[in-house]
Chains A and B, each alone.
Chain A
Amino acid sequence: MINRFKNFLEKEFRVIAPTQQAMDYREEILGTLLDRAQEYRIKGMEDDEMIYNLCIDSLGNFKATLVNFEQAREQIKKKAAKAGVIALSVLGAVVLLTIGYLAASFITSAWNKTWLIEVCGLFLFAIVGMVIPMPTLIQKKNNALLKLIVSGIVTLIFTAIFLILLIMTNITQTWLLFIALPIAILGAIVVLSAFTGSKAIIGEAIAFIQTSSALIYVILALRDIIPWSPYWLMPVGGAFISICIVVTALALHNKNKAVQKKVMTEEDYYTSWRQ
């Protein structure tokens, strides 16, 4: 009996690739067939042919299972191939970048500056890597992760600009860029929320206005563009605008509710009967 089952399974499994997983599956099925045949014998069945047929019948639509099995393997293969292409592309880009960096360094002999090519190039790869999953995240409405990615992208851009300004120019107080960083992050998050239709946009817009007014004031005052006083009114103005936004949002919300109520009242009028 065991050989008949083995022959049957060998024949059936020829339609799929002989992977370790497939052979494990085949062995598992053989075990089940043997257990089932044993059970029939214990119940008193003696006709081997009948036992064999009943056992094979118990497998059901076995061919469909094998096809599914093969399809899953094909998908894994495709994913692996895709991952391989991505890995090769990244490796190729890094090699090209390094060649460009070395060439620029040898030609100009400005080794103290050309390393920026390598660093900014790596930043660019990281940004591309973070942008790629964004459409999927937008579809899945994973706003928390999207905001994290956007914050990461803005931070990398600011760091790259800071390094370029620091190394390539004589501009002083370039570190002030990092004070402006929260403004840019919050601004990007507000734009993202407007794009995705997130309900958190009002809170984020208020945070953006408040932070911008305070930090722009600090940056301008530190650069001696404006005096500290009376320009402290800037953050106060920011707070005032924030309050106005909250009041307007509440007023709009109440107006919408009133309109909805009116529609309902009219609907009641059309659908109510005296008898």
Chain B
Amino acid sequence: MTGDILRGHTETVILRILTERDSYGYEISKAINDAGDDMLDIKDATIYTAFRRMEEDALIRAYWGEGGLGGRRRYYAITDAGKKVYEEKKAEWQKINKILNNLILGGQND
């Protein structure tokens, strides 16, 4: 279930990672799975599908950079539109989080 919830927010998570700095597929995939406390197994296909979709929507842009064992890496950078969408998604999540905390934790939510 945890994985399903996260998969629904893959794009927001990727956008968050890219707000810190430009990154590439493997690094982003590793960052997500490492942060998942071994409860997550987000496959590369999911991440690359998200990349394609976000590139189409101009939320991120890709460019080839130096590095990697193959000689060059495809890096991703967040665009201004992406930053805007990330802020909207973040606010949405904070709202949902607050409501769910109230509903599920009730009085324990202090």
A interface list, Cβ under 8 A from B = 2, 24-25, 27-32, 34-36, 38-39, 58-62, 64-65, 68-69, 72
Contacts and interface: CB of A to CB of B under 8 A. Distances in A.
A38 B43 contact: no
A60 B49 CA distance: 11
A65 to B, nearest CB: 5
A65 B26 contact: no
A97 B49 CA distance: 48
Contacts of A39: 30
B45 A65 contact: yes
Interface string B21-48: 0001110011000000000000111101
B68 interface: yes
Q: Chain B's interface: helix, strand, loop or mixed, by majority?
A: helix
Q: Chain A's interface: helix, strand, loop or mixed, by majority?
A: helix
A60 B24 contact: no
Interface of B: 24-26, 29-30, 43-46, 48-49, 52, 56, 64, 68-70, 72-74
B45 A62 contact: yes
A36 B48 contact: no
A54 to B, nearest CB: 12
Given A24-B74, A58-B43, A60-B43, A31 B69 contact: yes
Contact of B74 (A27, A38, A60, A68): A27
Contact of B52 (A31, A58, A69): A69
Contacts of A32: 24-26, 29, 44
A72 B56 contact: yes
B45 A64 contact: yes
A14 B73 CA distance: 22
5 contacts: A31-B26, A31-B70, A59-B43, A60-B45, A65-B45
Which residue among B25, B45, B68, B72 has the maximum number of chain A CB atoms within 10 Å of its CB?
B45
Contact of B26 (A35, A61, A68, A69): A35
5 nearest interchain CB pairs?
A: A60-B43, A60-B45, A35-B26, A34-B69, A28-B74
A28 B25 contact: yes
A13 to B, nearest CB: 13
A87 to B, nearest CB: 23
Contacts of B68: 31, 34-35
A25 B69 contact: no
Nearest to A35: B26
Contact of A31 (B24, B45, B49): B24
A25 B56 CA distance: 14
